[in-house]
Every structure is written in C-alpha cells, then in structure tokens.
Structure 1
Amino acid sequence: MRILLIFMVGIVPVFAQHISFWGNNGMIRVQNAKPKDMGWLSFALHPEWHYLNRDSVWVPQIPGYVTDHQHFPKAGFSISYSIIDYLETRARLDMFGKWYEQVDDPVHRGDPYPVIGIQGVEWGLKGGYPFVINPETPSEFSMGLDSYIRFGPSLWKYFRNARERDSIFTDTFGFPPYVPHDPDIGYRLLLSYRLGPLGTHLNWEQLFTGRDKPAPYIQGYTDRPTINFIRGGVELLGGPVFALLFEVTHQFPFEGGDDADEATYITPAIRLSTPDFSFTVGFDYDVTKEEGEWNFFGGFSVGGDLVKKKKVHIPIAKITGRVSDAESDEAVMANILFPGTEIEATKSNPGSGYYKISVPPGTYRMKVEAKGYRWQEKGLVLKDGDEIILDFALHKKVATRLSGKVFDAEDGKPLSASISFPGTKKNPIQTNPQTGLYKVVLKAGTYRIKVEAPDYKFKEKIVTLKEGQELILDFDLIKIGKPIAILTGKVTSKEKGEPLEAVVNFVGTKIPQVKTDPTTGIYKATVPPGTYSVKVDATAHKSQSLPVVLTQGDTKIVNFELEPAVKVGQRIVLKGIYFAFNSAAIKPTSYPVLDEAAKILKENPTVVVEIGGHTDSIGSDAYNLKLSNMRANSVRTYLISTHQIDPSRLIARGYGEAMPIADNRTRSGRELNRRIEFKILKK
C-alpha cells in the first residue's frame, strides 16, 4: 500500500526532457553526456522506497519468533538550469525516513521513533559537447564531465536504531549512512552515443567521502571509504512519448571498506514524456545479495525554456538524391557542384550513393562528376521550402583508342618509331619493331601526334578524337635525303558534296594505302617522284581512279568526287534519250546517254536491271503500253549489241502512261513522263 502511494505521487503529465535523479539531463542514475540547450530550466521530484527483511527475533509476549521489515523511504527534489548549450548546473535536496514494521500477525510491533530528516544537499556542474556523426540517421556521440559537492545530513533528535554497523547504513541503492559528515566531493566521466531511437551511456564516478562525525550513541562505526561507481545504460524510444530504460550499476571501494561496501544492481524503468513533462517508474534489484534487495522508485519532472531564442528564418531549399551507375545501379561516389555559384561542393556517400544538400532559393546548374564516368548536368529552379529528389544515373566513359602502323614511305617496311603527344602529360609510346604497329588509349580531345624514327624525317598529324571512337592512323616516314613528292586533296560525295572517309591506293606499288580524315575528307601522302594510278574507294560509293604524275619536290592537289554506288530498288532516269515520233527507233543524239549507262553496268558487273519504258497520256492506254514496251526493248538491244552487256542482266518492260512523274496536262510535264528508267533488281 505504501509503495502504491509513492507511485501515485509521480502520476502526473509527462515531459520529454529526460531528467535524471541527479537533476540534469539523463536516464535514472546514468547521466547523458550532452547537456540541455541553453536556457532550459527543470524541476524534478524522485521518490524511492527501499525495504529489507530483518532476522527473526523472539518475542516473549507471543511467545514466538517474528520477522520485521525495515523501510527506507526517500525523496529527492532537484532543479537544473542550462547556462549555455554546453554547460548546465543543478541543485538537489534529499529527504529520508526510516522505520520498522512487524508483519507477523496478530501482534503488530511498530517503531515509535521513526527517523525523518535531510539526507544531504548537493550542487553540481556538468559540461559536455556533442559530435554529430551523421545528421540523416541521426547519429551523435557526446563526451562530458560532471562534478559535484554534497553536504552531510541533518538528523532529527531521535535516531534510535543505529546501534551497530550493518549493510543498512552502507551506500546501497544510494542510501549512505545517515551520519553527519564533512562535504563529499565527486566527479563523473560521461560518454554517450545515440543512433536514431537508441541511446547508450557510460559513466565512471569517483566519490571522495568527507570525514564522518558519528553521534556518541552509534557504536562500532567505521568511516566510509572512497567509492567508485561504474554505470551503463540503454534507452530505447518507442515513440514520441514512450521510452524503455535499463541500467547496470557496480560500486566498489577505492581504498578501505569491506564486502558490505560493494554491490551490483540492475535497474529497469519506463518513462513517459512530452516536450514539457515526464513520468518515470521502475525498480532496483541488488544481484549481489543472497536473497536480493529491492528498491522501488517513481518520479516526474517539468521544464521549460527561459531564454526564448529569436528564430531567424533563412530561406532554404533542400535537394536529396542518389548517384548511381546507369547500367548496374551500383552506388557511385561523385562530386556535386553548382557552377557559377559560391556553394561549396559536396560528395555522394561512397557506400549508398546518396547525397543531401541545402542551398538558398534560386536557379542553378547542378553538375555531377565521378572518375571514369561522363559528367551530367541538370538545371533546376528552387523556391524557399522546396524539398526535391534528384537522382543521377552516370554512364561510364567509353575508351578512345588510337592505333595504326608506322612504315617506310618508299618500300612499306615497318619501322620502330617513337610516338609522342606534345602539349599533354601523356608519355611517349614505341611501335612494335617487327610490325610497326602501335595502340594507345586516350581521352576524348584534340591531339598533335608526332612520330620519330632514326634516319627518318619526323611526321606530325593533328587528330580530334570523340569519346568511344576507335581511329586507325598510319604514318609513312621518308628517309632523310630521299627524293620525295607530296600528293594531297579532298574526297567528297558527288551527289551531296560532303567529305568522305575513304582509302587512297597507289595501284601497282608497295606504297601503303592512305586514309582520309573522316571529318574533312582530306588525305595526304608523301611518296617518291613518279607516275601513279591513284584509286580511291569509299563505302557506298563507286571507286574512282586517276593518273597522277609527281616530280621531285612536287606538292600536288588532286580532289576526288565519288558517285554513290547503286542500290537494290534504286531508280535511275536516263535523261536525254529520244525516239522518233510514234516509233521505237532511238535517235543518234541519245547514244552518249546510253553509253554512260553501259559504263555503269560494266563498273557493276553483277547488277541486274529492269529497263522501264514510260509515255505521256496522249493516245490510248493500249497503244501507249505497246509503245513503251517497244522502246524499252530498243534500249536493251542497243546495250547488248553495242556494248556486249549480258542479256540475262537486262529485263525490258513497258508501263505506258501508268506511272507518271509529272502533270500530263502540261507540255513540260508530258516531256518528263516520256522517259526510260533503270531499276536495280539485284546487285
């Protein structure tokens, strides 16, 4: 019943400030190394109830043995105040009582002289500093130091039962002997770590006891020794108002003392809290006693902020996200930049790829860079209070490779040469002395490539490499003192005028082929003087050959315009073919056009074509169909008889007026519709 009353004292609204029995920030007896914020004032009441079973005694009045209980109530009143964010002070007043109670019925033997008084007054000062490890988790580590001074008890007149020293009067469960003494002083080293809702604390305390002043009626009294305490605690927040607490305490004498001064006990408790109030209930259990000893406690505290901090609103926007590999989705550690601003760069987490950054509102270019990846940039407009998620999936840089061969310009033999990259930090490389081949991996960009070999004139070329490009670049070196000539020019498409990537060959010689620059179409070859047949080949285009005469010291420019190669399904209108009126007879003026068509067929010896005849709409359909078929066969006959084209490659067909390409209502349209077409059927 009495225990229930003690608990009822503490059943009041609760708070979240977590005040310890000592009056400052903490669990029960374990302190948190982190002080409260500046200006926080707290009041707390912590009642306790401790009782022991005493030895059975013979009572002649019964007669018989009875077992007594010794009760030790206690109440601590405390006040604490945070002077600054890292320093708090506190004061505590402890009241105590002590009386006997016989529980064996039917006889009740009480204590007519219960002891009630002030156990002590304590003042303390605690300093601590938190180190934020990860604000997102949150994760925080704190270190602190607490020091205090405690003044001895003031007893009432009657203190009946202190005839001998026993465990009741030791410092068990926070109950030191109720004996006046000089001030005690002590200190505590404090460590705390919090990870989200889980908090752990470790305290090491040393209490230097003052000189005891026992009353004359206390017999066999031994001075209190210096006591050490090791306390550890774990708190788990189960929500905004609920927390589970668990502490372990071990006390032992530093010097002097005996077994009665040593104890280990566990302390489970429950705490309910709101921002201004808290309620705690729990018990201690001494595991070092054979039958165990119990101490029940409750408590509440109330607090508030005396220093109202003036909140200054700083406009801010928050950006969070993840940087990952675009293919594997693995985390990527990257630099996150805001070009054109003074915002400090940040990095994404190497393990998770996540990042978080706060910036003032505004318009930004957000750039993400990572080693081995293509950088990525995104624009964004942020307003005050915005919280956006912006992920970046980076693509790996594709290697750019440059390879080729270095050889003698006259006989094509491979050379052992040094290839350097002036203006860069890239180290020179060597060609294979047997093959003259080389290969190098470079970053995308523009380079000046210099090739040198003993007894040869060096050669330089400027190339621009795109990311992922694989370029073959050969070098033909001229021996020093050898006569040379230079042939250069440009290879373009005759149809569109665009530069072509082509191969230039010197037919019938050992001079290695030369490649044009794919972006400009320009080629350059250094060769001995002479007469050459120069042939140029390009994909999807007809080859072209030209004779070139080069003399000593010549630099000749020869350009090539390549016609597109024929394609299956392609239609070619043979312009300039004329027939006699209402006849299939070919006019002689048309022969050059047909001769050019024969040339195309000879250059493409496997091509099969359809010769299509077409007319205008004048005349009947049947007549026009017959006339167009006759004219198509006349062209076929000319190509076979005059140019010996294989007949199986030529198929004649008349379409009449069925496929016009212009308006038959006009003279010009009818002229266009009267035509002969080649259609490529097979390559």
Structure 2
Amino acid sequence: APQPARAPEADAPRSEAARQAARERRAARAAALDEDSKGEVVEQRITRENSRSSDEDFSTSLRDALQPDDQRQARQQARNDDDDDNNDLAKALLLGLGAVAVGTYLNNNRQVALSAPDRVVVTRPDGSQELIKDDTALLRQPGSTVATENFDDGSSRTVVTRADGSRVVTIRDADLRVLRRTLVSPDGTRTQLIDDTAEVEPVDIATLPAPAPVATPGIYQDEAALREALRREVDIDRRFSLGQIRSIPEVRSLVAPVNIDAITFDTGSAAISPDQAKQLSTLGKVIQDAIAKNPREVFLIEGHTDLVGSDAANLALSDRRAESVALALTEYFQVPPENLVVQGYGEQFPQVRQDGDVRENRRAAVRRITDLLQTAEAQ
C-alpha cells in the first residue's frame, strides 16, 4: 500500500500523558541536580556480556513477561501488604544495576500492565499506557564504566566514563524521566544535550502549526534527500521540553518523521541482523555528519507496531525496536548514543489505518528534534 502523505499523528486521540505534558510548567526538582549532594553509588564495568547489541533479542521475551506467575502474584501481594515498599516495581525493572526508585508510579491510580526486566508498562486511569524504562541503556557500551548515584528522593545521577576519557552525565527524577544530559569531553568542554530543568510554557495545542509534511517513502537511501529532510527548520518561535516532545503528538509532528523502510522486524522480535543494519549506512552517515558539525544535535528514534497483540506488549516491543535501531547506528556507524533519544509508541499511530498484520505499521522512524528542544535555545 502506498504510504499516505499525512502525518500518522493527525487525528490521534489525546491521552492523559499528552494533556498533562501540555499543562506542565513547573521547573523540575531533584536532589541529583545539586552537584554537592551525595547519594549511594553503584559502579559497573560494561563488557560484551552485560551489554546488549542490536542483533540480539532481549533475554526475556515479552511472551514470558506476560505470563502471570506465582512469584509475580506473591510480589503483588507483598506490595499490597506493605504500602511503604514502593520499590518492588523498581526491583522488577532491574534496570541495568538493579533497583531504581519509581515509587510514584504505584500511586496516582496507575496499574502495572506488563512487567519485564527491562521495561514496565503502566495503565493510567484514562486507559492510556505509559512506558517506564532506562534511558541510559544505549550508553552502556563495552569498555565504559557506569556509575549510578541514587538519592533519597528517588532521583539518580548516572555517569558513563569511556575509554577516551569523555563522560556522559544523565540526571533522572524519581519517575526515571531524563532531566538533564551533558557530554563532558576529555578536555572538560561541556555540551548540554537535554535540559528539562527550566520552567516551561504550557502548550496550547490548538495554536500549534500544522504537522510538517511526511518525507517521501524510500528517501533513507538517497543521501542528499535524507540530509535535506532531516535538516528542515521548524517555523515556530518557542521551544519544548523533551517530555512535551515525547508525549504530545502535535508537538512531535512539527518535524517530519523519516521512515526507516530498510528495517523490517520479525513478528515479536526486536533484533536487527548485520545484513539489515548495513541498510542503515546512509542514515548513519547523515546523522554522524550532523553531530560532527553540531554536537548538540538530538535525534528521536521512534518504534511503531501493527495492531496485532496487546497494547502493553506492543508498546514495550516498539520501544525495544527503536532501541535496536539506535544501537545499530552506534555499533555500525559510530553515531554517538548520547545524541539519540529512543521512544516506542506501540500501535497508537499506524501508518496505514487498518487492523491486523500490516507490514507498513511495523516500522521505525527518525526525527531531528534539535530545533524543538529548549536546550537549543539556552545555548
């Protein structure tokens, strides 16, 4: 089926997460933002054995994660018995180094819809679903050391130190949202990539410009066209937080997505074979060139699924697929992982609006969100 030129986000139902992100204005607060504060540090050296590569699937399949087992029920019972112990969900996450506080997710009437070691999907009161995952997973590359400092308020500061002496510092709040990401070069130069700590303007969705036209299918192999599509400026006189870009479809669609048609995933799988990864060479070169020219460039890699399977499983699967694309760009084409943001959207924004096993809907896409991010303005 030919791909429609309209944005898949057009006419999408507005979720509670989108409405909340649109209202948000307060500046973020977290103990981890205070450079003088000290937390409990866990350090880990990253090797091939304890990192994930793009050609392998996740060690737990989503099918396993969806099987209710006695242990999970026992854990749920223990959680019900002890309301103070909000870390059980965090333990289920096992994000890289183990428990990270995500206690607030158990309040606010959120129900756990799926719990796998690397992703948790919660359902909000309006029925929409939200993904909780480790946004530093991409940075866990062999040869680096990862030190995570956890604070009493649930916030954390993760410092990834690489063999060349460069460091990537990521600060997250208790909800695991990235508040700030900074690249510190070996010579001490600091490049702010993400900064969600400032007060933000609420978003009046009705006054936003129309979505950018969707890039032509097949463009990812044509270097000049791809460069042009990803470089297109956004004509809007304000900036947004990363949270607003991730959660509000109308904000995200201000920049055109480029569908990565080269990559097709097996049903239920998030692995990319080396042969398929080679198909990403043009995209890898264009992104790498852009970052070499401007180290503050940030690209959003999105994952989408068809409508087969449960919402929660599709949301987690789409996020894992986006992570695989980002890993492949890093492994094969040396794209710096700190300049990539990964987000799965499950079955919410189908390219072709029909039920069932539709190949066009099992897709990954990339957007250059540099011009939308409030950090770009701060520099």
Give the TM-score, by structure 1 length. 0.17
Return the index of the structure with the highest Cα Rg: 1
Kindly indicate which of the two structures has a greater share of residues assigned to strand.
1
Kindly indicate which of the two structures has a greater share of residues assigned to helix.
2
Give the TM-score, by structure 2 length. 0.30
| Higher RCO by CA contacts (8 Å cutoff, separation 6 or greater) | 2
